Amino acid sequence: MLKMDLEYDGGILFIRLKGTLSRKVSYKINNYIVPILTKHKIRKIIYNLKNLKSIDESGVDAILNTKCAVKRNKGKIYLCEVNREISLKIKRLHIKITSSEMAALKLIEV
């Protein structure tokens, strides 16, 4: 089960994930968030993974899809509050990981 809390503020889309990002629920990102990014040309995303319990390869691919959409818009993407287990799985994405949303916000506004 995955719950997503989306907040758009000041040109930045905050995506807070809670639960498990697996093959069963990765369609929520691929079919909902990616088209929004493309349609509205959103350039800045901060993922908060504090309450994400686990992620599988399909979940990693879903985050990669959002990264690609943001890069097409010439934007930036950051992950924050990532636990060690998930950090090891998403290392290959080469997305900057910060300690908090505020730290990511400071980097994104530079």
Report the distance separating Cα 68 and Cα 93, nearest Å.
Answer: 10
HSE, side-chain direction, 13 A CA sphere, residue 88? 3
Residues 17, 49: contact at Cβ < 8 Å? yes
Q: Is 62 exposed, middle or buried (0-12, 13-18, 19+ CB in 10 A)?
A: buried
pLDDT digits (tens, 9 = 90+) for 94-103: 999 999 999 9
Residue type at 64 in one-letter notation: L
Whole-number pLDDT of residue 94: 92
Q: pTM for this structure?
A: 0.92
Number of Cβ atoms within 10 Å of the Cβ of 108: 20
pLDDT digits (tens, 9 = 90+) for 32-83: 999 999 999 999 999 999 999 999 999 999 999 999 999 999 999 999 999 9
pLDDT digits (tens, 9 = 90+) for 15-31: 999 999 999 999 999 99
